[in-house]
Homo-oligomer: A and B are copies of this chain.
Amino acid sequence: MTQAPQNTSAKVMKLNRVERNAWTKRRIFDAATKIVGKYGYAEASVARITEEAGVAQGTFYNHFENRQQLLDQLLPKIGVDMVRFIRERTGTAHAAKQEIERFGAFFDFIREVPEFLRILNEAEFFAATGYQKHLDNVSTAYVRILRRARDAGAIDGFSDEEFEAIVHMFMGARGYLSRRYSYTEGAVTAVPDHVISAYEKLITRGLFTLPAKGNGDDR
């Protein structure tokens, strides 16, 4: 999990040159995470990031090729944390139940790493490369999960292509829900229960009750 740097200086910690170097890079990276999470990519100027990191602007370029290159690393790095976080919280119960667990874990992760939300959502426009990378990561893994569920008989009647579409619906849903429900007065909060229950109902029995017998009305 991405951690804030300990409030201890490199000197006090008696690091050697290599460690010192890594430590500085990490500080810049963490500062960027913080700034982007708080103000968004657009406001994450090199000046602001380095100030937050407590280093000179020039130092930035000793560790990253340019501003964009750093920004592009932000999402994939945290994204990996997210995937791991969610996996750790997914049990071995029935597939539908697991999906609910994943859904809930996503919102838990957001509370754990509040920066994630903004870093994820803005990435499409400000860090396209990193965004694509993240999306591929997640959707591939997600489709695999669904496929296994189908193999196990927990899902029926969906093709692989449809899985991909479903996965995008799920990801999109999470994004919108988190923006709508995870913020309360500036703080990141838990999602209300009715969001969870709505999701659960949707994925287990759908939204609509169809008429008793399919009449000729349907396509």
Assess the B161–A192 pair: CB atoms within 8 A. Answer: yes
Asked whether A210 and B96 contact (CB < 8 A) given A159-B194, A162-B194, A165-B194, the answer is: yes
Q: Residues of B contacting A170 with CB < 8 Å? A: 173
Name the CB-closest residue of B to A166.
B198
Nearest B residue to A95 via CB reads B208
Q: Give the size of the chain A interface in residues (CB under 8 angstroms).
A: 60
Stretch at the interface among A19-27, A48-56, A108-116, A176-184: A176-184
Which chain B positions have C-beta within 8 A of A201? 157-158, 162, 206
- The A187-219 residues at the B interface (CB cut-off 8 A) are 192, 194-195, 197-199, 201-211, 217-219
Given contacts A149-B208, A162-B194, 9 further A-B contacts (CB under 8 A): A94-B211, A96-B210, A157-B201, A161-B198, A166-B198, A168-B177, A169-B169, A204-B207, A205-B205
